[in-house]
Amino acid sequence: MHNVKHFAQRYVNWVIKLGRVRFSLLGLAVLAVFALLVQGLLSFAFVGRIYWLDVIRSIAFGLISAPFVIYFFTLLVEKLERSRLRLADTNTQLNANIIEINKIQKEVEQKAEFLRSFIDASPDLVFYRSDTGKFLGCNRAMELLTGKREQELLQLSPKDLFSQDAAEYMAQTDREILQTNEGITYEQWLKYPNGKLACFEIRKVPYFDVATQRHCIMGFGRDVTERKRYLDVIEKNSRDKTTLMATISHELRTPLNGIVGLSQILLDGPLTKEQRNYLNTIHISAVGLGHIFSDIIDLEKLDTRRIELLQKETDFTAFLNDIHNIATLMAEGKKLKFHMEYHAALPNWIIIDRTRLSQILWNLINNAVKFTAEGEIRLQIERPEPHTLRFILKDTGIGIPQNELIKIFAMYYQVKGGHANTAMGSGIGLSISKRIAKLMGGDLIAESELGKGSTFTLTIQAKEIATPLTAITPKVNLNLHILLVEDIEVNIIVAKNILEKQGYRVDIAMSGKEALQLFEQNDYDLVLLDIQLPDMTGFDIAQHLRQKYESGEYDHLPPLIALTANVMQNKRDYQQQGMDDVLRKPLSMESLNQCLVTYFGETIEPTSHQAKTDNALKHTLAEHFDYDMLKELAEMLGIPFLRNNLTLFKAHMPMYLAELQHQYALYQHDTSMKNTVISAAHKIKGAAASVGLKRIQQIAQQAQNDSHPHWESQIGIWIQQIHTHWQRDVEQLDDYLVQNNAF
């Protein structure tokens, strides 16, 4: 059998090697020879002789049909052989593929096992749940948290494992993820089986399970308990630090403000030249200490990112005059000359934080005086653009080496000065000044050459305004009766002197109890309240008076103005604790007059130019606000009522807008939710109308009107318009109420 297969294979190989035609011819020749031999032998064996004619006739007949048979046989053999070869190749490739698949399968299993081991080794929670809230899988950390193996967790939900509150919050966030198809991150306290509480930062994202054809949720949780506790400690330390700085602010500024105030009172009186020089030195030193202390306070505010600008109308001409006077006195102390040059087109009034600008310039002038032994200091003021001011301060001092020039704005860096090359200054003034300059929309840069002096260029943004109402001198004398609540003698002397010079009657109370007694015995037009008193705080007094007024025990409540040396808190902080406004110590005529105009502005008649300005402002306001409604409410209930309403609206509006956007997102997936969008828009419309925000009210009115022909195509645009404009409108209206305090 083996030989047969061998010869058959050789036969097939010859067929393939020679081809169908040549092998057919060869076969025909072999067949003819074979037939001739066989025919001859058979004829000779049976007849005894060979009849060649018969032999040739038989062979010819066979050869006529044999080529076709041989050819088709050869063709069949060839095709069968080629099919066999292809099949052999296919089997070979299939075997190779099977080996490769087995190899890949082993690698996948190995990687899956490694990934599972990696996930189980992770200290973070890893879990995934179905859209019904059932667990589909988890890692080892999740097993430890729940006290159950993964197989036990399958088909359980959070309500089977955690407290009711925790489970409800998990279910709520799951629903939010499935509805919005967006991930969410939140923190949640969870309890281990042993009772240990841990805070987890949980991140959950949606994903689609192709195998089960359903939406699922994948979650990750990191234990942030230690970080949380650490942050709590940091927050407590920050609060303690703020409290300490506030205490220092009050305790140090109180005597310092007394020095500034009393020296200013004495400078206004008759003095000899020597006395005036001494008092000028005392006054400048006290002001300088105040600026240094402001730098220290700003350090704390920069750390907590609470440094703010108090933008208000400023008489720029008067401001420059003050800078010139104090710089001249500082320069004269070292026998230097101070020159001020300014452009003729400088504005008269600008909107700026006067205190902050003064702080920067004082730092620059102080450094110039400090590092200049002889020569001059020159301050140039330019206006390169309509809303830009540039202050260029040049000195002829020792200069700064180029390798140190890039360091001078770094915190705590101290420039070397003098022959001893000793460090001079606290190292915080320039750094604070540069940061404030950036807050004011500008920058502070320096150029210097050793031995040839330095040039500091301060650029700020300052909008020019017309002469404001607060700058107009009242035509009617304000005959005010003022209650001053203060427990420090030097502050009483300064404040009382300033107030009585204006013709006001002043009663003094040195404790909270005395203040309440005087308030009930007299009618006051204004109450100035110190914050820290022996028996209670100024806030306690303000809240007590407000409660009595709101309950109807008092028929009238005058403006309650905080008078404080604490620069840690802003005006809004005081308003939230019962005050109407705040004045900083030492009491200045400018801030006092602005405050009085704010609360007693009806006695002041504006100039015709100012009236035109107010009319133009009214026209602008009427485009975005319900001016008539606001005016009526202001006359009936007062500006504080309007501002309180506006504050309440500002606090609630983010929630209203978030609800509107959420309902709109649901509507985009399900148009049956249209009514919920309309309801949310209606809520915003009513809230905006109650505070006079006409533009927001009108947009919300369109959003709630589903009969609008283009509601479906425009609702998204209207929601975006509300989101874009509402904060700007609130701030503009609040600024107007603060600055004008009347309609």
Q: How far is CA 404 from the centre of its chain?
A: 34
**Per-residue model confidence (pLDDT) at position 692:** 78
**456 band by pLDDT with thresholds 50, 70 and 90:** very high
Q: What's the predicted TM-score (pTM) here?
A: 0.44
**Per-residue model confidence (pLDDT) at position 419:** 44
Q: Comparing 74 with 546, which gets the higher pLDDT?
A: 546
**Per-residue model confidence (pLDDT) at position 485:** 92
Inter-CA distances, 687 with 125, 630, 645, 654, 738, Å: 43, 14, 10, 12, 21
**Per-residue model confidence (pLDDT) at position 605:** 45
Q: Does residue 660 contact residue 650 with C-beta atoms inside 8 Å?
A: no
261-270, 487-496, 627-636, 657-666: range with lowest mean pLDDT: 627-636
- DSSP of 597-647: HHHSGGG-PPPHHHHHHHHHHHHHHHHHS-HHHHHHHHHHH-HHHHHHHHH
Position 26 pLDDT exceeds 60? yes
Position 649 pLDDT exceeds 50? yes
Look over the chain and give the mean of its residue pLDDT values, rounded to a whole number: 77
**Per-residue model confidence (pLDDT) at position 477:** 53
CA distance 291 to 735: 28
Percent of the chain having pLDDT more than 70?
69
**662 band by pLDDT with thresholds 50, 70 and 90:** confident
Residue 402, exposed/middle/buried by CB under 10 A (0-12, 13-18, 19+)?
Answer: exposed
Q: Comparing 31 with 228, which gets the higher pLDDT?
A: 228
**423 band by pLDDT with thresholds 50, 70 and 90:** very low
- pLDDT tens string 97-106: 888 888 888 8
Position 162 pLDDT exceeds 50? yes
- pLDDT tens string 10-23: 666 666 666 656 66
Q: Does residue 519 contact residue 510 with C-beta atoms inside 8 Å?
A: no
Q: Comparing 607 with 543, which gets the higher pLDDT?
A: 543
CA distance 272 to 97: 111
Position 394 pLDDT exceeds 90? yes
Tell me the average pLDDT across 126-148. Answer: 88
**668 band by pLDDT with thresholds 50, 70 and 90:** confident
Question: Residue 339 pairs with which residues in a beta bridge?
Answer: 378
Most confident of 116-125, 509-518, 555-564, 603-612: 509-518
114-128, 391-405, 619-633, 640-654: range with lowest mean pLDDT: 619-633
